[in-house]
Chain A
Amino acid sequence: MFPWVDGFHWTATHIIFLSLFFSAILIILSTLVRGIWRAYSDFRAHRATAMCWRENFIALPEADRRCRHQLAGRVDFRTCDNAFDCRGCPNYANFAELPASPPTGSAGVSFSNKLLYHRGHTWVRPEEDGSYTIGLDEFAQCLVGRPDSVKLPTQCEDIESEGIAWRMTKHGHEIRVRAPLTGTVVSTGGPDKGWYLKILPYGPVNLRHLLSGPEVAGWLAAETQRLQLQLCSSDAGPCLADGGTLLPDLMDAEPNADWDTVLGSTFLDS
């Protein structure tokens, strides 16, 4: 195999054969190394969380990737092509200028005008001391009810926007809640406290990707409708969905529904 090993011959056949073999091995191994190196570079450049989110986003069904402007009634139909990150969306400004026409009537679940909402069903409240409080919105709370367990990050731990803020389990389902902002955890709450995390962001804060005002109603109405369709059993006939509010503790009320799909759509986990 090598010149110093018995059986090596300095003949054309031998050398061509081994050259081709070594080249093939080199190409194969270098491809592997390149893949590992590129992945490592992504982690070093702090691109990993954003990339993971993007991969996750692409894997979501198209129905779960509606642009906020469609939900707000600014456009008829638009699928988000920027992983819900309006902060970097080149088209955001164009659509934001259009008049919004949110649906009238109940959104099916209550919300507050003072809070900013993330598409992963968390709310954000800026505090006076510069920190931000993060909680689970009414929609998610109705769905999950009281979680069986909650795994919050510890104090001084960092969370990254579009990364995982905290995890919950309910009836054996693991729920990964997306972080709406980047920052360091100052204190932790829980389902009893009405909020889950208080964070102190580092760097400039851009909240453009969070929903507020009329958009929230449109979004929650669409979410409620989606939920209704997903929970509807397949052998039911056509139903008229004309409003009403979500009941709390849905997972307890209907333990046999396809919660896997529902939770994935709700918390944007593919």
Chain B
Amino acid sequence: MSETILLDRRWIARGAERSSTLHFLLWLAPWVFLLLLGIYAAGLCFYYGLNQTNMDNRFAFGMWIFLDLSVIAMGAGAFFTGFLVYILKQNDLKPMLNSAVVIGLTCYSGAVAVLMVDVGQPLRAWFTFWYPNTHSMLTEVTFCISCYLLVLILEYIPVLLRNRQLRKIPSFLIFEHQFHKLVPVLAGVGTFLSFFHQGSLGGLYGVLRGRPFAYRQGFAIWPSTFFLFILSALAVGPSFLMLVVATAEKITGRQLVQQGVFRKLGFISGVLLALYIAAKAVDTYIWLNFTSPALGFGPVDFYSYWPLSSTFLFIATVPLGLFPAILFVVPRTARHRGLLLLAAVLTCGGVLLNRFVMTVQTLALPTLPFDEFLKYTPSWQEVATFGGVIAYGVIVYSLSYRYLPLFEAPKGEDKHVSLG
């Protein structure tokens, strides 16, 4: 038993305080179970087909697309933090970088995995690359997300190679040393790619002329939802990052970053959230008064069917929009850690609500005059797969925290040592 513990200990950085092996396994156990359940559900879908879900011809997109859009928005913290640190030189955010990369990696790889289950013919995924339709937003999403996943994997490799045992292998250490210097280039490419795919995910719905609830006018080929999704992703990325690190601090019982880092992330999140709400208000006004009436649809076609639908608009704008923005930006409230975290939770909630409304509510609303408002409940396979992705994220983050120096500032820049 002690040999096993020592084996585990050997992979943890010297002097780092970590919980015992048993405690860690107990923590992992339920998440592993959830992950296995998710894999089993996905396996059922691969084997039997998508009839395992409750999606149908009217709800062609369901919970999984909501999941994809949501996790990719949450994972925006990865590119945004990289942009802030490497390009805008906000060096006090450096301790958050590695966490942001891990979160981004799990969010994007989870989203891609779920997408593979979601499509009817996953083996044909390469067709989008081979016969791309450059007018389709989904093509843009596919290309950018694939490239960006590659970027995230490459950004994670130096973090992985800083593991205590892996560092002992000279080729790994030397590669990590050299590659680490090139990461700012990847951060730049990542920022560029992220802007496009975050926007295109919004564009997916904004271009649908056949769904007046989602259709928006915009700038050139990009509907307003393209820009709104970018703004909301920029707003929620730092919030989600903050929440994950705060949760890690709570669970591990130690302070991992300085409080000022949270406040700064919160401020950035708050400003962007306020900008987003303002832009969305203008957009909603234009949409309800000009865009959709031109298609023969008015507010009554969107908000009369279901009591909650107009409430959603209010909730997304005020309690989950303006209110957390104020909490983030006003110094008196931003000083309190509890209020900061509350604001982060509300921001995430607001973006989740927005993604839900754009994916699921759009499909529920009738377009043909003799149609009705439709309902959809995900099947257990869909929920299990969703749970599996969350579990996957928790497991990867937990392992990264335990065995990798997630919160050390990257070495080399601040300590000057010549080769001798």
- Where the two chains meet, the residues of A that have a C-beta atom closer than 8 Å to any C-beta of B are 1, 5-7, 9, 11, 13-14, 17-18, 21, 24-25, 27-28, 31-32, 34-36, 38-39, 42-43, 47-52, 54-59, 61, 81-83, 85, 87-89, 172-174, 176, 260-261, 264, 269-270
Contact = CB atoms under 8 A, between A and B. Distances in A.
A48 B170 contact: yes
B323 interface: no
B163 to A, nearest CB: 12
Q: Per DSSP, are chain A's interface residues mostly helix, strand or loop, or mixed?
A: helix
B15 A5 contact: no
B264 interface: no
A50 to B, nearest CB: 5
B419 A24 contact: no
Interface stretch (B3-11, B348-356, B372-380): B3-11
Contacts of A261: 14-15
Contact of B418 (A36, A55, A59, A88): A88
Contact of A55 (B135, B147, B411): B411
Q: Which 7 A-B pairs have the closest CB atoms?
A: A88-B420, A35-B179, A85-B420, A7-B131, A38-B178, A17-B134, A39-B175
The B interface, classified by DSSP as helix, strand, loop or mixed, is: helix
B419 A39 contact: no
A88 to B, nearest CB: 4
A43 B185 CA distance: 24
Given A24-B193, A31-B185, A18 B134 contact: yes
A83 B171 contact: no
B132 A17 contact: yes
B174 A52 contact: yes
Interface of B: 2-3, 6-7, 9-10, 14-15, 129-135, 139-140, 143, 147, 150-151, 154, 167-168, 170-171, 173-175, 177-179, 182, 185-186, 189, 192-193, 221, 411-412, 415-420
Given A6-B131, A21-B147, A264-B15, A49 B179 contact: no
A82 B415 CA distance: 10
Contacts of B129: 1
26 contacts: A1-B130, A14-B134, A17-B143, A18-B132, A27-B185, A28-B147, A28-B151, A28-B154, A31-B182, A31-B185, A32-B154, A32-B179, A35-B175, A35-B179, A35-B182, A39-B178, A42-B174, A43-B170, A54-B417, A57-B417, A81-B417, A82-B418, A83-B420, A174-B10, A261-B14, A270-B14
A49 B168 CA distance: 11
Nearest to B175: A39
Contact of A28 (B134, B150, B168): B150
A38 B180 CA distance: 12
A93 to B, nearest CB: 15
B412 A58 contact: yes
A58 B154 contact: no
A72 to B, nearest CB: 20
A58 B15 contact: no
B416 A81 contact: yes
A89 B420 CA distance: 7
Contacts of B193: 24
B15 A260 contact: yes
B186 A28 contact: yes
A39 B417 contact: no
Nearest to B132: A1
A81 B418 CA distance: 8
B167 A55 contact: yes
Contacts of B174: 39, 42-43, 48, 51-52
A21 B146 CA distance: 10
Given A17-B134, A24-B192, A35-B175, A52 B170 contact: yes
A17 B133 CA distance: 10
Given A28-B150, A47-B419, A260 B14 contact: yes
Given A31-B154, A55-B177, A24 B189 contact: yes
Contacts of A34: 182
B170 A49 contact: yes
B171 A39 contact: yes
Nearest to B408: A59
A141 B87 CA distance: 51
Contacts of A50: 419-420
B417 A83 contact: yes
B158 to A, nearest CB: 9
Contacts of B3: 172
A62 to B, nearest CB: 9
A172 B131 contact: no
B411 A59 contact: yes
Contacts of A13: 134-135, 221
B189 A27 contact: yes
A36 B175 contact: yes
B14 A264 contact: yes
B411 A82 contact: no
Contacts of B154: 28, 31-32
A235 B7 CA distance: 27
Contacts of A61: 15
A41 to B, nearest CB: 9
Contacts of B179: 32, 35, 39
Given A54-B420, A57-B417, A270-B14, 18 more contacts: A17-B139, A21-B147, A27-B189, A28-B154, A28-B186, A32-B154, A39-B171, A39-B177, A43-B171, A43-B174, A50-B420, A51-B174, A55-B167, A55-B411, A58-B415, A88-B420, A172-B2, A174-B10
